[in-house]
Amino acid sequence: MTVQTPTPFPQPASPDHTVAFDKRELGVILTLYGQMVAAGEWRDYGMSFLREVAVFSVFRRAAEHPLYRIEKRPKLRNRQGQYSVIGMDGQILKRGHDLRTVLRVLERKLIRPVE
């Protein structure tokens, strides 16, 4: 009688290394998004998860270029920070290590002077 050893499940040759926002990060971003939608500033969003960057794009209308892009680039974690907010023209508005701090540049647009 021969004893057979169980065959392990095959492992993927190279795991897919896509960058994504975790649950906490998405919670922070979607809280700001909800406030801006309630204020009538933003109307739509899109997310992209690529090899080196995760992008949360914000739109005023669905058929136009994004007003802002919130990006996460883990490779910049030890340099200027992995989070950044980029404007419609491609200019980096704020970059840093803490997502909440970086998003404050967009929260200022929510505060309007009282007439």
46 beta partners: 57
DSSP 8-state secondary structure symbol assigned to residue 29: H
What pLDDT is stored for residue 103 in this prediction?
92
Question: What letters, b where the CB count within 10 A reaches 16 and e where it falls short, cover 14-52?
Answer: eeeeebebeeebeebbeebbeebeeeeebeebeeeeeee
Listed by start position, the domains of the chain span: 23-107
**CA Rg, the chain, in Å?**
20
Could you tell me if 85 and 69 are in contact, meaning their C-beta atoms sit under 8 angstroms apart? Answer: yes
* pTM, 2 dp: 0.77
Write out pLDDT tens, residues 87-104.
Answer: 988 899 999 999 999 999
